[in-house]
Chain A
Amino acid sequence: MNQVLDILINGLALGSVYALVALGFVIIFKASGVMNFAQGSMLLFGGYLTAVLHEHIGFLAALAVGVLATAVLAGAVDRLLLRGLDPSQHHILTILTIGVDILIVTELARRIGGDLLSLGDPWGNEVVALGGVTVPVSRIACIVVSVLVIGAVFAAFRYSSWGLSLRAAAEDREAAALMGIPLSRIRTLAWCLAGALAALAALFLTAFPAPGLERTTGQIALKAFPAAILGGMTSPPGALVGSLLIGVTEALAAGYQSELSGFGRGLGDVAPYLVMITVLLIRPHGLLGTKEAVRV
């Protein structure tokens, strides 16, 4: 029983980190139709900045700088690189983000080298006993902060004028433009928000019990892809459901590794992709995605 609870909490924490990243995918996708492959490099960038700065200016300030700088970086990618290209050419823009990702990741990996950087989070390796299981404080912080942040983002979708504009733009670009919605500003803001979310995800990915920030940490974003896809790329609640599903599945596969040894070692790493393919086989548009209707 305790093991199940333990695994569930692990899965929830993992899922909430995926949710931060996947939400970024969905926001960018809604605003511009682009699958942002540079999300992993954004995550690495935010984490790296925080890790480098926290000894000088303290943890909270470093985190704030990391999150803001990543938001600016993401916004700059949109303004400087994607702007001016035909926004309907989603393939081209998507592949372009792969180029961006290669550049940023190569540079950061070169700087990080073989090191393991600590982000200097205040939770350290403390644990609390919770109903018979010991849970790292960082996991609890992860779940709480993610819930708050994701709640805020959802509220922004629902109530802010930016959220309204974003939803309108996702619904019908032309009509939104005719209504006076500044599409390119909405889009840049979406990129900034996604960047900030990725930087925040870096913090919880590297906190205890994970060893710290490595050059390969950015690849975790690749697991948030299945989360976003299986929820349906256009649906923020879908991304949430998908992330939790993926997180819990991964934790289960890792937790019951010995029972599942027939499938080989390291099943936890591929579990998200197996879930995604299974869901796509049954529902090609994702769990909560809208099936596109085409008028002729």
Chain B
Amino acid sequence: MSDRTPLTPRTPPTPRTPLTSRARRPLLATAGVLLLCALPLYAEAYWLQIGLFAMAAAIGAIGLNLLSGGAGQLSLGHAFFLAVGAYGYAWLAGEPGPGLPAPLALVLAVCLAGVAGGLFSPVSGRVRGIYLGVATLALVFIGHHVMLNAESVTGGYNGRAVAPFELFGFSFTGQDPELLVLGVPFGAEERLWYLGLTLLAVAWFTARNILRGRPGRAMAAVRDSEVAASVMGVPVARYRSAAFVVSSMYAGLSGALIALAFRRIVPDYFGLVLSIDYLAMIVIGGLGSVGGAVAGAAFVTALPLVMARYADALPIVDEPGGPGHVVGPTEAARYLYGAAIIVVLRYAPGGLAGLLRRRPARARPEPSPTGTDPAAGAAPPLGTGPHVTPLPVPSAQRKESRP
């Protein structure tokens, strides 16, 4: 944590909110993990399904955040890599396909997404920032085209079924073996919940370690000033494409998990809207923050589903399927999250994570360009003087310097 390595003696210690207090943090985290572990014992399958989608999305969002928040590259091609992971798993583990054991298929699907990201590296390493965002648009459309036409692998327009996950003979479906935990029957949702939780934990810690370690600092340097980074000996293009590959692998894992949760995948799901959803997740959660990505993913994924569930209880929302002039739950959710993007960017550029972290950031005596990111904040200043290139990560100081 940045708390352990203060760069300079902290002048007046500002009061902290209880939430970010150093002592309570591990406590809260433990409580959160316990709660998540106990949830399948109490929640209905519907909520577990939502949670499962949220966890899958969270993994993908963490990956995108490594790229956008970490290396400052924008990607609208995330849906493509999700699709590679999803179809990769479905094909490798199922029929038609080689029918490999499920865990092996999962690992290979993730690697496949990584390879796909690597193949794009001539573009992702050289094209910068927003340009890359538009260049990656192409992947979504080309991917969609391939999904529709490569029918032997993807099943074409109608998609294909996904083989259930199986680990050492333990199947992640309703039966085989029947499982009763504390009187609660464990069906597919309950079992997949723990799989998702485990994968999310692995993804979370890996991302934190990447961001806090040497690669994370190198990426932050590339993000903040390409020139300064290359002068310091950071191979800019290599780090950019590496960040892209890692982010693709996260997307692949996320896609495979989504495929498991859906049990059937269709090409139309992996469209541009999905890519934009992921971008919205990391923006709402806070660029550069792993926890923020998870929170943003939960928000964006759960919003339409929860709205649909309570459609009749909400005053403005009408039942879906009516004539064009009523606001359905899906539309209401889209209004809300379109507005959320605008409001967050205008009034809380650090996202949800930035809101929690604002106070400690103020305690830092000199404005550090790496801003709200704790990992980047812990990095020593790069010794580059004023940064010339625009910062992709909104800094809390910028916000606070305004009256």
Contacts and interface: CB of A to CB of B under 8 A. Distances in A.
Contact of B345 (A99, A111, A266, A267): A99
Interface stretch (A139-147, A149-157, A276-284): A276-284
B339 A99 contact: yes
A235 to B, nearest CB: 13
Nearest to B391: A89
B131 A233 contact: yes
Contacts of B146: 264
Contacts of B272: 219, 222
Main secondary structure of the interface of B (DSSP, over half): helix
Contacts, number: 142
Given A102-B338, A264-B148, A265-B149, 9 more contacts: A91-B72, A96-B342, A98-B341, A110-B325, A222-B137, A225-B137, A233-B131, A269-B141, A294-B388
Contact of A110 (B127, B135, B226, B331): B331
A294 B227 contact: yes
Contacts of A270: 141-142, 144-145
A86 interface: yes
Interface stretch (A51-59, A112-120, A122-130, A174-182): A112-120
Interface residues of B, number: 53
Contacts of B360: none
Interface residues of A, number: 52
Given A85-B346, A270-B145, A280 B327 contact: no
Interface of A: 33, 35, 81, 84-86, 88-92, 94-96, 98-103, 106-107, 109-115, 219, 222, 225-226, 228-229, 233, 263-267, 269-270, 273-274, 276-277, 280-281, 284, 294, 296
A35 B142 contact: no
Interface string B121-135: 011001101110111
A115 B129 CA distance: 38
Contacts of A111: 324-325
B341 A280 contact: no
B383 interface: no
Interface string B329-357: 00100110111111001100100000000
A101 B327 CA distance: 18
